[in-house]
């Protein structure tokens, strides 16, 4: 998956805090920025299998002390939420409504 440097930086910024596994507004914003960069790069749904591997590797690298089940839960939540957001953007684009909302 070819992501820009900005997308990779956003990916690196998202799971930095130890609270990244929780639903928290500050961590959520970091995640949304990451997904927004993914959208800017690919303008479609991501490959969920590849994303799962990328997210898991990044989180394990940053949080080697996290239990494996916590890593899996965090990856699955991020994969699912990211897919939902990208699907939403694809739907808006396909119906011509994306420009109405984003400008």
- C-alpha distances out from residue 50 to 26, 54, 96, 98, Å: 26, 6, 28, 26
| Host domain of residue 47 | 5-102
Share of residues in the chain with pLDDT > 70 (%): 97
Q: What is the mean pLDDT of residues 4-31?
A: 86
| Confidence band, pLDDT 50/70/90 cuts, at residue 103 | low
Specify the number of domains making up the chain.
1
pLDDT reported for residue 77: 95
pTM of the model: 0.91
CA distances from 89 to 10, 19, 38 (A): 19, 27, 11
Q: What pLDDT score does 23 carry? A: 76
């Amino acid at each position: 998956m070819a992501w820009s440097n900005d997308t990779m930086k956003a990916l690196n910024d998202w799971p930095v805090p130890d609270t990244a596994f929780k639903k928290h507004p500050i961590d959520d914003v970091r995640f949304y920025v990451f997904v927004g960069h993914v959208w800017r790069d690919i303008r479609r749904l991501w490959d969920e299998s590849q994303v799962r591997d990328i997210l898991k590797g990044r989180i394990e690298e940053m949080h080697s002390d996290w239990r494996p089940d916590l890593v899996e839960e965090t990856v699955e939540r991020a994969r699912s939420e990211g897919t939902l957001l990208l699907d939403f953007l694809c739907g808006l684009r396909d119906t011509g409504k994306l420009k109405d909302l984003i400008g």
